[in-house]
Amino acid sequence: MRHKYSILALVLALCAIPTMSQSEVLSSDTKMTLIKTITGAISPKSVRSSGTGLVSAHNMMYNHSVTIYDAQTFELVATVPDSVQLSHYGYSQSTATFKGAPVEGAYSPDGKYLYVTNYAMYGPGYDHEGHDTCSPNSKFDSSFLYRINLSTYQIDNIYPVGTVPKVVEVTPNNKYILVTNWCSYDLKVISVDTQKVVKTIKIGAYPRGITVSKDSRFAYIAEMGGNRIHVLNLTTFTQTYIPIGLNPRAVVLSPDNSMLYATLNLSGRVAAWNLTTKKMSAVITTGKAARSLAISSDGSALFVVNFESGTVSKVRARDMKILQSIKVCKEPIGVTYDAPTSRTWVACYDGSIKVFDNN
């Protein structure tokens, strides 16, 4: 009898051992499954998760809006028009209402604000709209960054930046807002404390993607018209460089900040750079015109949209193996990973958003 009870005790003990919960399953061990298609008056150039229950889409000059969704239910929470009175902020003598063209967005770490870049401005005095092919000598109109207050879903501040601003990021310590200006060939550094531009950093042709180390010490900026990533020291504002490959567009860091990943648009590839060894770890081909890039919260999976292939690729980060490549829409251009729901949102330029479960 003693033997019988000891076996029973062993069985009970084994049953008591906790199993891996769904939240602990590596993202690279799951499959993407389409669960929702969002449509409406949208033409999303990009999508961005707040990590706190919201996902925003930035709809360019085709719809002049930012649409904000509940990340759990997919319901439209707010549509924010890109209309502002520049005179209200002291940037125009005209009392007319001006329109923007939302390109990309980034949330403040405290969850209070969404910052949005505008490709161009429309209204009195703005008659030399920016273009994808340009330089500082083109003399296109400069534009603005907007701040949307997430308690009211209203634009409550604007910041003059450069010509054709593209990507915006906020440092994790909420000290700086960083904006790349496509045609100005520079990066604007805005102080959250003073609400003013405190530095203008020369980058080179077509600066685009930005990512920031979790300690807020370094920013990594893709020079899309070249072949390098600029590593900007946010204390001294000095730069070093990573020779990542031709035409880098989007960049992300691994959660431990040991790896940097970048899409190489022309070649349709994704590069993995080891920041510890300062060497290239791998370069893989995901499709034609690899555009935006996102990483899962556990760092095990990358999500890449391939604009000309019409696909989204899921890549295992540790060995850069393509796990899935799914036909998603005609022109997938933006992607974000929402950590609380473990979902991947893909922006389709033709007017839809596709949401995938990772399960």
pLDDT at 223 over 70: yes
Identify residue 359 by its one-letter amino acid code: N
In the predicted model, what is the mean pLDDT of residues 264-274? 98
pLDDT at 8 over 80: no
Q: DSSP letter for 132, please.
A: S
Identify residue 335 by its one-letter amino acid code: V
At 24 the pLDDT is 73
At 312 the pLDDT is 98
Q: Say what percent of the chain tops pLDDT 70.
A: 94
State how far the Cα of 339 lies from the Cα of 266, in Å rounded to an integer: 29
At 65 the pLDDT is 98
At 21 the pLDDT is 44
State how far the Cα of 220 lies from the Cα of 205, in Å rounded to an integer: 15
pLDDT at 12 over 70: no
> Which is more confident, 126 or 15?
126
Identify the band that residue 46 occupies on the pLDDT scale cut at 50, 70 and 90.
Answer: very high
Render pLDDT for 153-176 as a digit per residue (tens, 0 to 9): 999 999 999 999 999 999 999 999
**In the predicted model, what is the mean pLDDT of the chain?**
94
Identify residue 300 by its one-letter amino acid code: S
Residue from 290, 238, 240, 234 nearest 262 by CA:
290
End-to-end CA distance of the chain: 45
Contacts for 337 with CB less than 8 Å, ≥ 6 apart:
49, 294, 295, 296, 297, 303, 343, 344, 345
In the predicted model, what is the mean pLDDT of residues 77-101? 97
- Delimit the domains of the chain by residue range: 25-358
Pairing of strands 352-358, 269-274: unpaired
At 11 the pLDDT is 40
At 263 the pLDDT is 98
In the predicted model, what is the mean pLDDT of residues 3-18? 42
3-state DSSP helix/strand/coil % of the chain, to nearest 5: 10, 50, 40
In the predicted model, what is the mean pLDDT of residues 138-155? 98
In the predicted model, what is the mean pLDDT of residues 325-337? 98
At 20 the pLDDT is 42
pLDDT at 101 over 70: yes
Pairing of strands 269-274, 279-285: antiparallel
State how far the Cα of 147 lies from the Cα of 9, in Å rounded to an integer: 61
Q: DSSP letter for 307, please.
A: T
Reduced to 3 states (helix: H, G, I; strand: E, B; else coil), residue 217 is coil
Identify the band that residue 295 occupies on the pLDDT scale cut at 50, 70 and 90.
Answer: very high
At 4 the pLDDT is 42
The domain 25-358 is placed in CATH, from the list 2.40.50.150, 3.40.50.2000, 2.130.10.10, 1.20.1070.10, at: 2.130.10.10
In the predicted model, what is the mean pLDDT of residues 37-54? 98
Block residue for tokens 């593209």: 166
